[in-house]
Amino acid sequence: QKEVEQNSGPLSVPEGAIASLNCTYSDRGSQSFFWYRQYSGKSPELIMSIYSNGDKEDGRFTAQLNKASQYVSLLIRDSQPSDSATYLCAVTAGGAQKLVFGQGTRLTINP
Amino acid sequence: DGGITQSPKYLFRKEGQNVTLSCEQNLNHDAMYWYRQDPGQGLRLIYYSQIVNDFQKGDIAEGYSVSREKKESFPLTVTSAQKNPTAFYLCASSIGGGLAGGEQYFGPGTRLTVT
């Protein structure tokens, strides 16, 4: 079983709709959770971090964490074509400051 | 203007040659990391360093070496022992420590092609 799993997609969403990206992780000791956005040919950009159960909102982005279910998600409201990218879920490994990345979900927003 | 720089952006080498990728940061971050990304894949950790003069192997360290002589710099050498070196190499840094210490910020990457 992979440590961090994401649906590879591609996920296709119409412009203006809500895009929902999901991630599960295996290490119950993980304390910090991150979402990165990566445009084609570019490096990852940190867009959300979440450390406690519940929701965290930042503009059009909402991260949701459920440690009991070992599940973290990212919602993008009012999706725009500029949101088309690969989204990487990352989770801290054990107690160290290492990150384990999922393989990424490719999101396409259709005008 | 704070950030992480990697050079060069593209690098071409012949098989059997060692090559060193540069990574510099002026964010005053303690921790630095090297990742490798293959097409359509997530990131895999090669080496990381949480403090000057100390570093640890990541998941795929074989065929790579690093040094951390200065806080700002964490160069990666891809040796001829690395069987499949063609990839996109990403350097990252973080403040290290605490929950937010996992927030890693990436440089623009170096795309290495070995033929």
Is pLDDT above 80 for A55? yes
Residue B56 structure tokens: 């640890």
Instruction: Tell me how many residue pairs between chain A and chain B have CB atoms under 8 A apart.
Output: 64
Average pLDDT over residues B83-91: 95
For residue A2, the model assigns a pLDDT of 65
Highest mean pLDDT range out of A86-95, B65-74, B79-88? B65-74
Residue among A8, A51, A100 minimizing CB distance to B99: A51
Residue among A32, A42, A43 minimizing CB distance to B102: A32
The closest alpha carbon to B51, from A97, A101, A91, belongs to A97
The closest alpha carbon to A68, from A30, A22, A19, belongs to A30
Query: What's the burial of A70, exposed, middle or buried (CB within 10 Å: 0-12/13-18/19+)?
Result: middle
Binary contact (A43, B107; C-beta < 8 A): yes
For residue B1, the model assigns a pLDDT of 59
Is pLDDT above 90 for A98? no
For residue B22, the model assigns a pLDDT of 97
